[in-house]
Chain A
Amino acid sequence: MSKQSKTTGVVDSRKMSGELFTLTYGALVADLVRDFERPAEVNRQLDKMGYNIGLRLADDLLAKNSQISRCTDLHQTADVVAKTALKNYLGVTAQVTNWSSNNDEFSMVLESNPLTEFVEVPSDLSELRYSQIICGAIRGAMESLHMEVTASVVTDVPNPTEIRVKFIRILQEYLPAGEED
């Protein structure tokens, strides 16, 4: 009984205001902009942080959404990312569009991006990709599921965020022995 009440306590404490997330992210970007001279460096750092988050998020996502099964092609993968993963972690869904002719590249358009909710990027930081952390997270999450992808921000604040994802290859060598099928 006491065990049970303990776990519900944890679940409760996970529900928190999205504004906190947005503001915290904003404070981080502002801090990075101050720390690094060039916006490109900021993008790189955000991508790295996103990657680290993504590696852990993939676990979390699969643990909580048992209906997600193994994806057999990139269309399914794109659907899971756009409909389930973004819904779970950012509270929005994305449109999957602009498939390349050989089906290895697609765009995701986030009509309302919570990260950029209160954001105005000054004109001297036009190189800054504000939502770069999402790209890093996608890359990290995909990598922990044995898929190498590249993700990059095509458009960002003030336009709707568009993220281009390109599939590179399946990472076979990371499979533990006896697991490949």
Chain B
Amino acid sequence: MNSLNHSANFPWDFLHAEIVKYQQAKEEKEKEVRQKYAEQLSSGLDAEVLTDSQLVQQLFEQGNAGTRLESMGFRVGYALVEKIAKDCPRFTTELDIMKFVCKEFWTSAFGKQVDNLRTNHQGVYVVQDNRFYTVSTFSESKQYLEEAAMYLSFPSGMVRGALQNLGISSVVTNSCDTLPSVKFHVHIAR
């Protein structure tokens, strides 16, 4: 049970890249299937299409790559925070929880603390990380800004999952103006 305590460089970033790639490929495939379905529908072959259960399943599958990555991240964050917080005293305020997420959770999940935490004291928090883990290997220019967005969905979900398990329902979005600096916007549901 202690094989996780070694200080190995777990190739998480490679694994994460593969997951992103897989989800993107899947979204692409679904688009094709939908298009095919639309074409066949317009040429009046719908009965035949509907007998193909695989196709129907893909057709009605919800969400694009981003949301699916987010929900995978949610699951991971939800379980991970339980492990990290098990020895912590009970948090009394919302701000305590946010601080915990920005320090302990961030350190064990993304290797460092956040650089800046701001709030308007009405349930909106902005978490800034100037060198965010999943995009820290990207080129520091505008070149890959668009591609990088996909690499932030999973961590967003992790943050949301962590907060959920600590008793806070939230919506987490992210924005990124210059790589590798990322801002996470946490909107707490009232």
Query: Which residues of A pack against B, CB within 8 Å?
Result: 9-10, 12-28, 30-31, 35, 37, 45, 49, 52-53, 56-57, 60, 87-92, 112-114, 117
23 A–B contacts from the bound complex (CB under 8 Å):
A10-B136, A13-B131, A14-B9, A15-B9, A16-B108, A17-B84, A17-B108, A17-B109, A18-B5, A18-B8, A20-B10, A20-B80, A20-B109, A22-B4, A23-B75, A24-B16, A26-B76, A45-B22, A60-B11, A87-B6, A90-B10, A91-B4, A92-B3
Contact: B111 with A16, CB < 8 Å?
Answer: yes
Contact: A57 with B133, CB < 8 Å?
Answer: no
Contact: B14 with A57, CB < 8 Å?
Answer: yes
Query: Which residues of B pack against A, CB within 8 Å?
Result: 1-12, 14-16, 18-19, 21-22, 26, 54, 68, 72-73, 75-76, 79-80, 83-84, 108-112, 131, 133, 136
Residue in chain A with minimal CB distance to B16: A24
Greatest chain A CB density within 10 A among B18, B19, B112 is at B18
Residue in chain A with minimal CB distance to B68: A31
CB distance from A157 to the nearest CB of B (A): 14
Contact: A113 with B111, CB < 8 Å?
Answer: no
How far apart are the CA atoms of A24 and B131 in the complex, in Å?
21
- Given contacts A16-B111, A49-B18, A27 and B72 within 8 Å (CB-CB): yes
CB distance from A165 to the nearest CB of B (A): 19
Instruction: Provide the residues of chain A in CB contact with B80, threshold 8 Å.
Output: 17, 19-20, 23
How far apart are the CA atoms of A92 and B19 in the complex, in Å?
24
How far apart are the CA atoms of A144 and B79 in the complex, in Å?
35
A18 in complex: contacting residue of B10, B73, B111, B112, CB < 8 Å: B10
Interface residues of A, dominant DSSP = helix
- Given contacts A9-B131, A24-B19, A53-B14, A16 and B110 within 8 Å (CB-CB): yes
- Given contacts A21-B15, A31-B68, A56-B14, A114 and B76 within 8 Å (CB-CB): no
B19 in complex: contacting residue of A16, A28, A60, CB < 8 Å: A28
Contact: B111 with A14, CB < 8 Å?
Answer: yes
How far apart are the CA atoms of A39 and B14 in the complex, in Å?
23
Residue in chain A with minimal CB distance to B73: A27
Apart from the given pairs A15-B111, A28-B19, 7 other A-B contacts in the complex at a CB distance below 8 Å: A9-B112, A10-B131, A17-B4, A17-B84, A18-B8, A53-B15, A89-B11
CB distance from B109 to the nearest CB of A (A): 6
Instruction: Provide the residues of chain B in CB contact with A53, threshold 8 Å.
Output: 11, 14-15, 18
Instruction: Provide the residues of chain B in CB contact with A52, threshold 8 Å.
Output: 18, 21
B6 in complex: contacting residue of A18, A22, A27, A117, CB < 8 Å: A18
Instruction: Provide the residues of chain B in CB contact with A15, threshold 8 Å.
Output: 7, 9, 111
CB distance from B61 to the nearest CB of A (A): 9
CB distance from A90 to the nearest CB of B (A): 6
The 8 closest A-B pairs by CB, nearest first: A91-B6, A91-B8, A13-B111, A112-B3, A21-B10, A18-B4, A17-B108, A49-B18
Instruction: Provide the residues of chain A in CB contact with B3, threshold 8 Å.
Output: 18, 90-92, 112-114, 117
Contact: B6 with A49, CB < 8 Å?
Answer: no
Instruction: Provide the residues of chain B in CB contact with A24, threshold 8 Å.
Output: 12, 15-16, 19, 72, 76
How far apart are the CA atoms of A36 and B75 in the complex, in Å?
20
Residue in chain A with minimal CB distance to B26: A35
Instruction: Provide the residues of chain B in CB contact with A113, threshold 8 Å.
Output: 3
